[in-house]
Amino acid sequence: MNISVLKETHPGETRVPLVPATAEKLVKLGATVLVETGLGESCRLGDEAYAKVGAVLEGSRTALLEKADIVLRLRKPLLEEIPAMRRGTIHVSYLDPFNELELVESLTQAGISAISLEMIPRSTIAQKMDVLSSQANLAGYVSVLLGASELQKIFPMMTTPAGTIKPAKVFIIGVGVAGLQAIATAKRLGARVDAFDTRPVVEEQVKSLGAKFVKIDLGETGQTKDGYATQLTPEQMELQKQGMAKACAKADLVITTAQLFGRKAPRIVDKAMVAQMQPGSVIVDMAVETGGNVEGSVLDSTVEVDGVKIIGLGNLPGKVAQTASEMYSANLGNFITHFWNKEDKLFQLKLDDDIIKGALITHDGALFSEMYKSIMKK
């Protein structure tokens, strides 16, 4: 079975979808692993490293697509590449299916079995292939480093001959995977950390990391079965803004991580809240790629508003591309291995499996995922 792995062409993308260690794992399963020449160069992984573990180098992207039974990549495919794939080819990558409707339609018409890694359910058995969590973990880490690099003061408390320097105050909004890692990183650097989330169930996790959980009475809130926060009512949003405005005004660094699955990120920090912050403060908007949590944030830019720097850089995991590539590649390898028939040396697309039910967007010329179809109807 041919597994083709394509080099990333998205501007600024430094991550690699498959590292040699995972390529070797797939070769040992009995797969023929075809990799595009120069696949790993952005992470200083030479072609010889892939050839050494049994992968076959191929210079033509078209040939890779034509030969593939399975295509592995990181970013979504280009529309012009889809016709090169044979009907029935299994394509595995991020797809952003809620925003890429033309792409989903093209994959459907071409008869491609397109797996969207964002849609893998958050279950115990799927944890080893959860690319969202692995990459969000790194993004949370990077967000703190970015904020610290722009903040003109140090994080830890220091006792010096000149006196005692107070620790920086960090306020983190949203306590998912990224938020928890941001808390842990800021604490390791010596900051005083406060955090808020609409889900009261995460309070103990915040406290376990040594941070303070900011309580704002919003009435009834909750989370989805996959652990995402449910959308707030307009009244709850206003109460949240009032409570968060006080915490933001006291903070040196604010990091926002709030995301809504399948929807645009909520706008939770407005210009009035920014105006109340101290000059020299910094905000990192981790949701800028999905619309942004912060009014005034600009994708892939750092702007200054009322003396406050707002960082809106996308692809934060790409700032630590080597580690991000290793984690993404491991997730991909675990996904393939989980559905691999060792006896027949084939990948089995088990349509009745819960993971496939959630992540398979298109199959056999039609939309497949019931979750995707139900969300798109709303």
Catalytic site residue from 94, 106, 130, 328: 130
Question: CA 290 to CA 187: how far, in whole Å?
Answer: 27
Phi then psi for residue 316, to 5 deg, are -60, -35
What number of other Cβ atoms are within 10 A of residue 59's Cβ?
10
Tell the burial category of 374 from Cβ atoms under 10 Å away from its Cβ (0-12, 13-18, 19+).
Answer: exposed
Catalytic site residue from 106, 133, 240, 297: 133
Catalytic site residue from 42, 127, 276, 322: 127
Residues 330/322, Cβ–Cβ less than 8 Å: no
Catalytic site residue from 122, 188, 199, 267: 122
127 is catalytic: yes
Strand 308-311 with 163-165, pairing: unpaired
47 is catalytic: no
Bridge partners of residue 4, in order along the sequence? 34, 71
Burial track 249-276 (b if 16+ CB lie within 10 A, e otherwise): bebbbbbbbbbbbbeebbbbbeeebbee
Reduce the DSSP state of residue 341 to 3 states and report it: strand
4 is catalytic: no
Which residues are catalytic, by number?
Answer: 122, 127, 130, 133, 228
